[in-house]
Structure 1
Amino acid sequence: MNATHLVDLRAELARQGLGGFIVPRADEHLGEYVPAGAERLRWLTGFTGSAGLAVVLADRAAVFTDGRYMLQLAAQTDPALWERRHIIDEPPPAWIAGHAPGARIGYDPLLISEEALQRYSDAGLAMVPVERNPVDAIWTDRPPAPLQPAEPHPLELAGRSSEQKREEVAAALRTAKQDAAVITDPASVAWLLNIRGSDVPYTPFALGFAIVHADAGCELFMAPQKLPPRTREWLGNAVSVQDRDVLAGALARLAGKRVRVDAAGSPIWFAQTLRVAGAEVVAEMDPCMLPKACKNAVEQQGARNAHARDAVAVCRFLHWLESASGRESELSAAAHLLALREDVPGFRGESFPAISGAGEDGAIIHYRVTAETDRTLRADEPYLIDSGAQYCDGTTDITRTVWMGPGAPPPALRDRFTRVLKGHIAMATLVFPQGVAGAHLDGFARAALWQAGLDYDHGTGHGVGSYLSVHEGPVSLSRAARPVPLAAGMILSNEPGFYAPGEYGIRLENLLLVQPADTPASVKPFLRFETLTLAPFDTRLLDRALLTQGEIAWLDAYHARVLAEVGPNLAAEQRVWLAAACARLGP
């Protein structure tokens, strides 16, 4: 971040006749992980979090993010230039309305959804689409768009052919009497066409757009040089390939048609362009989202296999941590875990940058250690490591909070850790009826904390893809979740936490697979969770008096499974350590 960037942006806004401008974190796909050339928020403000936006007015500016990133936001932005605001407690539309009533506020129609834009209009703001993004106009050394090749994702990993998936989507369109659907999420494109790529860090997709038609035909809009001959052959004749530059013309050809566009997940540019062309826009969820989230049997087994292999690397790392205090740092610990994963068959990369936070850094929910912030792992403090991997057959995400010893953890820390674990167990053991959404379940993970007047400022869980995004919609375990019911085959994280700013953070995360539940007495179908992640919890941090017999039984059974499934793949010294870490608590 350079202070002159803000000065230059204000000059460009004045030139375009604007009183303000919105700078989202998203790219034209509204994604979490974006290529370097779309990191406008980072370039302008210095904030590197994966969620947030900036608002620049003529005389003041603010950066907004959620509770995961507030401490990071304070550390990375200049308070002389930027106000820091919690995006839930003080939404940007209200902030703009309070400070710039009547001003013409610019927005890039490729970087905001119709649903999000509506919130600004509802606040009485005069929203103005720009033809050229003002940030792009002043960012003279902006990196070019990535051109990494898109590769086939084989059927033995995908489980269903692209033809089958396209027909499923087309059938849904025909049932809804819709002629086509615009697909702007690259993860949906990757799932639909059984391709993967490396255009952005951590998420294996190739950036592009698609239009799926009710006859199961598909138009793919992607730079031709990203599609080598083997990938074009893989796509087949039913998928036409065109450059991104002709997308507007393709939308114009849908004049008179009923076209589905996800109002929450697609840039408003698509709906605006279609309406100008004379198409009827139907605001409905991306038709790939639900079938992509409900993993088929092959993908479910792939997830189990990936987690089993990943668990070996994680357990080796946790054993290594036993002697790490005083000699290793946050950076070196994260690097060691990555090195262990790189030896795992099928490893393709991290699924997100590892959150490696010792002591007070663990309280920064999405802390990203740098050379400037790196510090030693000290004795007698907690250490939080949240990490994950992309394997060819699945995506992992695990968090453990570990006591570095050799002394005894303080009672208050043990109390908080145990309450977080109680919430984790409560979620893992839930049985619930079909039709229940994530917002209905979130409170189960918080109950033990709530009883002590405590809480955490993030959702309890997010969806996870199948060798795709580690944060996948449309469901999550959160009070802010979409009202989309959970369904068999979905994979979600279970990650309650507690954070004492300036002292420590606690988070305990496994991934869960939604499965049908065997409830013979019920007159309606029920669902349950299958735990995929395999790694011990640090029982040194437990206050056993707070655990019920049922919770102890669950923990003992889980640890017995970890020992049985992971132990045989470890070296002798590591197996001895794992046996001790998984020792029974109950009789």
Structure 2
Amino acid sequence: MSTTSNLGASRLAALRAELAAQNLAGFVVPLTDEHMSEYVGEYAQRLAWISGFGGSAGSAVVMHDKAAMFTDGRYTVQVRQQVPADLFAYEDVPQTSAAQWLGEIASAGQRIGYDPWLHTSAWAKQAAGQLTARSAELVAVQHNPIDAAWTDRPAPSLAPLEVHDDQFAGRAHADKRADVAKWLAEKGADAVVIAALDSIAWLLNIRGKDVSRTPVALAFVIAHKDGSVDLFTAPEKLTPAVRAHLGDAVRCQPRDGFAEALKAMTGQTVVVDPQSCVAAIFNALDAGGARIMEARDPTVLPRAVKNPTEIAGTTAAHVRDGAALTRFLAWFDSEAPKGGLDELGAAERLRQFRAETNSLEDLSFDTISAAGPNAALPHYRVSDETNLPITHDSIYLVDSGGQYRDGTTDVTRTLVIGTPTPEMQDRFTRVLKGHIALARAIFPAGTKGVQLDALARQHLWSVGLDYNHGTGHGVGSYLSVHEGPQRIAAAWSAQPGGDEPLQPGMILSNEPGYYKQGAYGIRIENLVLVERRSAEGAEREIMGFKELTLAPIDRRLVDVNLLTAEERDWWNDYHARVAAEIGPLLTDPAEQSWLEQACAPL
């Protein structure tokens, strides 16, 4: 048994002992926190602790005699590399789920535990139904058994809150609170519970450092119809500057008082978002006699549709970030062919280039620095154990981004060291053609991301190829690099959002890819802004995408013979803009010369 299996086995044994103490036959372990976050603080990394899985989406079920991991197509390879097969079975989502699996293996009389602070009410109802059909029972635990078994579990962060100035936010939080109050009045409701951390940050123009790579703070909010807000967060996080910024209309209360405050809302009509509010919130409101109205968090759409200040900020951030990435690309082209460079070294050098802007607050996610076969893992995360050298005649994929006060970036470039094979060029060019098709799309108001997704896949589909991830996700404004509600994704995607109509001001990624397991991976990603377009004779409002990301795409991987005249025009126009906007920010003559060659017309 490997060291990883030994550690995993001891942790499973500790958890199973705690399950026995709580009279539970099994327990469901999601990868989220009390806010249904995608990225969570160290204290909430329960799935990683029990399984070793390092991806950003997944769950597990641990029974007394078996355990299973549930991941989607993005992590098919990664989960098998990180999670010991002798301890966990691998289950594929959406073909199955933790609830479905339990509905197939649970025995009569078994009590299966779940933490109501880590699951939605909809999930709990579905899982309870599956278990009831087996004469088993879903039990909401009072104390998470993982937390009891995880003896050295980190405490939640107490990092101070930070003010997000109006010069970056574009609107005062008083105006945002007034909009929420108006929305509540229109619904005939008294208050709304806001649990999503990025929604709270946006609403109150605050940021934090409680979650790695995402500038949010651990908190809950109850917003009232009079425009006032109750903010529940650790008192240690509230500096005098933050208290002054929030003002008297925002009442600050301890985070551990949130549940009792919900129980005290007797007789009030309270709006709750079933997507971001966990089952425990519904349970507490029910217990207190509140009337629950389910509706989407009222800050979600205004947060997604960026205002002019946010658009100007993210545009500036992308130019700054594009210059840093371009400097890295020039450096990489010089250094990689010499040998001696590896994934960790490349990622660190890219971070340094971003830091040299003197504006970087953090990375927007852990850099995906992937050489050769590791590039075939869409959400690969480099570590000392997986670190590969970057070798000659191979592909290197780097997906990275920065957090700046004025914007959040996310960009992927696929680079070749030496000579690409004809197959590499063919696959890269098909991905490029899909990227260009989506970038050039003109579409009527009301169009949804799911309707555009096939544009990016068509040239792969035509030869029997595809990729197992969405084509585009929303991006925040100095917030989460993955932001809803908008997405560009296939109808079969396990992730929601593809049916959200796109609106001017939304930011999305455009990132088709191709992955050959055990060999190489390709992805081309730019962030784009939805904007209105005009056309002579148009009878409907039409929209299109403006490129925000500015950095060269590796021309050595392009088979020009596969491109149409329109696609070559797009390439040339894009690279002319890169040269014009990024060139003046480069002071090193060698970097300037490299950029000129990289942006030369095809």
| Cα shift readout 1:356-387 (whole Å, capped 9, x = no counterpart) | 00111100111111111112111110100000
Q: How far, CA to CA, are the matches of 2:357 and 2:425 in structure 1?
A: 33
Query: Alpha-carbon deviation of 1:66?
Result: 1.6
Q: How far, CA to CA, are the matches of 2:96 and 2:199 in structure 1?
A: 32
Indicate yes or no: 2:392 matched with 1:379.
yes
SS in 1 for 2:293: strand
SS in 2 for 1:131: coil
Indicate yes or no: 2:121 matched with 1:114.
yes
1:391 to 390, 397, 404: 404
SS in 2 for 1:322: helix
Q: In the TM superposition, what are the counterparts of 1:196-345 in structure 2 within 5 Å? A: 196-323=207-334, 324-325=336-337, 326-345=339-358
Indicate yes or no: 2:581 matched with 1:565.
yes
Q: In the TM superposition, what are the counterparts of 1:326-365 in structure 2 within 5 Å? A: 326-365=339-378
Q: How far, CA to CA, are the matches of 1:555 and 1:387 in structure 2?
A: 22
Given that residues 346 and 393 in structure 1 are in contact (C-alpha distance below 8 angstroms), is that contact kept between their aligned partners in structure 2? no
Q: How far, CA to CA, are the matches of 2:332 and 2:359 in structure 1?
A: 25
Q: How far, CA to CA, are the matches of 2:536 and 2:267 in structure 1?
A: 51
Q: How far, CA to CA, are the matches of 2:53 and 2:511 in structure 1?
A: 24
Task: State the AA in 2 paired with 1:7.
Answer: A
1:152 to 150, 159, 163: 163
Indicate yes or no: 2:451 matched with 1:443.
no
Task: State the AA in 1 paired with 2:601.
Answer: R
Given that residues 55 and 61 in structure 1 are in contact (C-alpha distance below 8 angstroms), is that contact kept between their aligned partners in structure 2? yes
Could you say which residue in structure 1 is the equivalent of 2:527? 511
| Cα shift readout 1:528-566 (whole Å, capped 9, x = no counterpart) | 111100011111111112111111100100000001111
Query: Alpha-carbon deviation of 1:569?
Result: 1.4
Could you say which residue in structure 1 is the equivalent of 2:3? none
Task: State the AA in 2 paired with 1:562.
Answer: V
Query: Alpha-carbon deviation of 1:252?
Result: 2.1
Could you say which residue in structure 1 is the equivalent of 2:540? 524
| Cα shift readout 1:60-94 (whole Å, capped 9, x = no counterpart) | 10111122222111111111101112221222222
Query: Alpha-carbon deviation of 1:237?
Result: 0.7
Task: State the AA in 2 paired with 1:548.
Answer: T
Q: In the TM superposition, what are the counterparts of 1:357-506 in structure 2 within 5 Å? A: 357-405=370-418, 407=419, 409-479=420-490, 480=493, 481-482=496-497, 483-506=499-522
Q: How far, CA to CA, are the matches of 2:389 and 2:558 in structure 1?
A: 24
Q: How far, CA to CA, are the matches of 2:566 and 2:128 in structure 1?
A: 51
Could you say which residue in structure 2 is the equivalent of 1:24? 30
Query: Alpha-carbon deviation of 1:122?
Result: 4.1
Query: Alpha-carbon deviation of 1:197?
Result: 0.8
Given that residues 221 and 229 in structure 2 are in contact (C-alpha distance below 8 angstroms), is that contact kept between their aligned partners in structure 1? yes
Given that residues 390 and 396 in structure 1 are in contact (C-alpha distance below 8 angstroms), is that contact kept between their aligned partners in structure 2? yes
Could you say which residue in structure 1 is the equivalent of 2:86? 80
Could you say which residue in structure 1 is the equivalent of 2:592? 575
Q: How far, CA to CA, are the matches of 2:30 and 2:320 in structure 1?
A: 37
Aligned-pair identity in percent equals: 48
Given that residues 57 and 100 in structure 1 are in contact (C-alpha distance below 8 angstroms), is that contact kept between their aligned partners in structure 2? no
Given that residues 183 and 212 in structure 1 are in contact (C-alpha distance below 8 angstroms), is that contact kept between their aligned partners in structure 2? yes
Given that residues 116 and 264 in structure 1 are in contact (C-alpha distance below 8 angstroms), is that contact kept between their aligned partners in structure 2? no
**Greater shift after overlay, 371-380 or 333-342?**
371-380
Given that residues 61 and 83 in structure 1 are in contact (C-alpha distance below 8 angstroms), is that contact kept between their aligned partners in structure 2? yes
SS in 2 for 1:493: strand
**Greater shift after overlay, 515-524 or 3-12?**
515-524
Q: How far, CA to CA, are the matches of 1:199 and 1:476 in structure 2?
A: 26
Task: State the AA in 2 paired with 1:19.
Answer: A
Q: How far, CA to CA, are the matches of 1:283 and 1:346 in structure 2?
A: 40
| Cα shift readout 1:140-161 (whole Å, capped 9, x = no counterpart) | 1111111000011111110000
Given that residues 106 and 131 in structure 2 are in contact (C-alpha distance below 8 angstroms), is that contact kept between their aligned partners in structure 1? no
SS in 2 for 1:191: helix
Given that residues 463 and 472 in structure 1 are in contact (C-alpha distance below 8 angstroms), is that contact kept between their aligned partners in structure 2? yes
Given that residues 8 and 87 in structure 2 are in contact (C-alpha distance below 8 angstroms), is that contact kept between their aligned partners in structure 1? no
Given that residues 488 and 516 in structure 1 are in contact (C-alpha distance below 8 angstroms), is that contact kept between their aligned partners in structure 2? yes
TM-score (norm 2): 0.95
| Cα shift readout 1:223-243 (whole Å, capped 9, x = no counterpart) | 111011110000011100000
Task: State the AA in 2 paired with 1:106.
Answer: G
SS in 2 for 1:81: coil
Indicate yes or no: 2:12 matched with 1:6.
yes
Count residues with an aligned counterpart.
583
Could you say which residue in structure 1 is the equivalent of 2:561? 545
SS in 2 for 1:111: coil
Given that residues 28 and 98 in structure 2 are in contact (C-alpha distance below 8 angstroms), is that contact kept between their aligned partners in structure 1? no
SS in 2 for 1:69: helix
**Greater shift after overlay, 451-460 or 342-351?**
342-351
Indicate yes or no: 2:61 matched with 1:55.
yes
2:76 to 60, 63, 70: 70
Given that residues 359 and 383 in structure 1 are in contact (C-alpha distance below 8 angstroms), is that contact kept between their aligned partners in structure 2? yes
SS in 2 for 1:68: helix
Q: How far, CA to CA, are the matches of 2:148 and 2:530 in structure 1?
A: 47
| Cα shift readout 1:409-457 (whole Å, capped 9, x = no counterpart) | 1111111101101111111111111212211211111111111110000
Q: How far, CA to CA, are the matches of 1:245 and 1:74 in structure 2?
A: 38
Gaps of 5+ in 2: 1-6
Task: State the AA in 1 paired with 2:317.
Answer: A
Q: How far, CA to CA, are the matches of 1:101 and 1:525 in structure 2?
A: 57
| Cα shift readout 1:327-353 (whole Å, capped 9, x = no counterpart) | 211000000000010011321010000
Indicate yes or no: 2:39 matched with 1:33.
yes
TM-score (norm 1): 0.97
Query: Alpha-carbon deviation of 1:48?
Result: 1.1
Q: How far, CA to CA, are the matches of 1:444 and 1:175 in structure 2?
A: 39
| Cα shift readout 1:476-516 (whole Å, capped 9, x = no counterpart) | 11124333211111111110000000000000000011111
Query: Alpha-carbon deviation of 1:205?
Result: 1.0
Given that residues 395 and 467 in structure 1 are in contact (C-alpha distance below 8 angstroms), is that contact kept between their aligned partners in structure 2? yes
Query: Alpha-carbon deviation of 1:162?
Result: 0.0
Given that residues 351 and 390 in structure 1 are in contact (C-alpha distance below 8 angstroms), is that contact kept between their aligned partners in structure 2? yes
SS in 1 for 2:226: coil
Q: How far, CA to CA, are the matches of 2:103 and 2:179 in structure 1?
A: 44
Given that residues 31 and 59 in structure 2 are in contact (C-alpha distance below 8 angstroms), is that contact kept between their aligned partners in structure 1? yes
Instruction: Give RMSD over aligned pairs.
Output: 1.2
Query: Alpha-carbon deviation of 1:248?
Result: 1.8
Given that residues 511 and 532 in structure 1 are in contact (C-alpha distance below 8 angstroms), is that contact kept between their aligned partners in structure 2? yes
Query: Alpha-carbon deviation of 1:101?
Result: 4.2
Task: State the AA in 2 paired with 1:462.
Answer: H
Task: State the AA in 2 paired with 1:311.
Answer: G
Query: Alpha-carbon deviation of 1:520?
Result: 4.5
